[in-house]
Amino acid sequence: MIIKPVLLFGYGNLSRGDDALGPQLLNYIESHCNLEHIEILSDFQLQIEHALDLENRSLVLFIDASVTGIHAYDFVRLQANRDISYSTHAMSPSAVLDVYQTITKQAPPPCFLLTIKAESVELGEGLSPQAQENLAQAGLFALHLLQQATFEFWLTALNKFQPDSIENTRSINPSKPLSYADKLLIPS
């Protein structure tokens, strides 16, 4: 089996309203992007076994809904971190990276997290109107990233579009993503 260098991992529950934003973004990407070098993976939640999906990748993008987001979407670089989700059935992306590092004795590939602002995650609901708009914005941004799926380009995108504020001088904490949605200009 050939491993594609870029992994897009969207997770969320399709039956819980806006929690489906991660898998829905993957559907959008599948219909708008050349997937020759990109693997798409979707699940309800992250689990310890997903650490193995990082092997032999050059770049990984985790995609999830976020009820705590301020902007339509946020984009951060992830670091391996053993957090409280490490021993639960649903893990954070940083905990998955930590598991990878522990079992392989290697640093994980460069990993980023794209969260999309969610409004309602009630069982049996569809996407809210605001989540649909947020998904459209995040979709354009994701396509922009995938036009040049390299670590350097994604780092440039991360740094180029962050809002000018003193808050951005802190280290990146995956539980408090920095946003640059307001400054993003997608070339046509």
Q: Is residue 166 included in any domain, yes or no?
A: yes
Which helix (H) or strand (E) covers residue 157, if one does?
helix 151-160
pTM: 0.82
What confidence score (pLDDT) does residue 24 get? 96
The confidence score (pLDDT) of residue 114 equals 96
**In the prediction, which pLDDT does 123 show?**
85
Domain range for 146 is 6-183
**Count of domains forming the chain:** 1
Judge whether 1 lies within some domain: no
Which residues have C-beta within 8 Å of that of residue 118, sequence separation ≥ 6?
17, 18, 19, 21, 65, 66, 67, 69, 128, 131, 134
Q: Residue 136 falls within a domain, yes or no?
A: yes
Question: Do the bridges between strand 111-117 and strand 59-66 make them parallel or antiparallel, or are there none, so unpaired?
Answer: parallel
pLDDT tens by residue, the chain, 188 residues: 789 999 999 999 999 889 999 999 999 999 999 999 999 999 999 998 999 999 999 999 999 999 998 899 999 999 998 866 554 557 899 999 999 999 999 999 999 999 999 998 888 888 999 999 999 999 999 999 999 999 999 999 888 655 433 233 223 333 333 333 323 333 32
Q: What is the CATH number of the domain that holds 147?
A: 3.40.50.1450
Residue 97 lies in a domain: yes
Whether residue 172 lies inside any domain: the answer is: yes
pLDDT reported for residue 178: 31
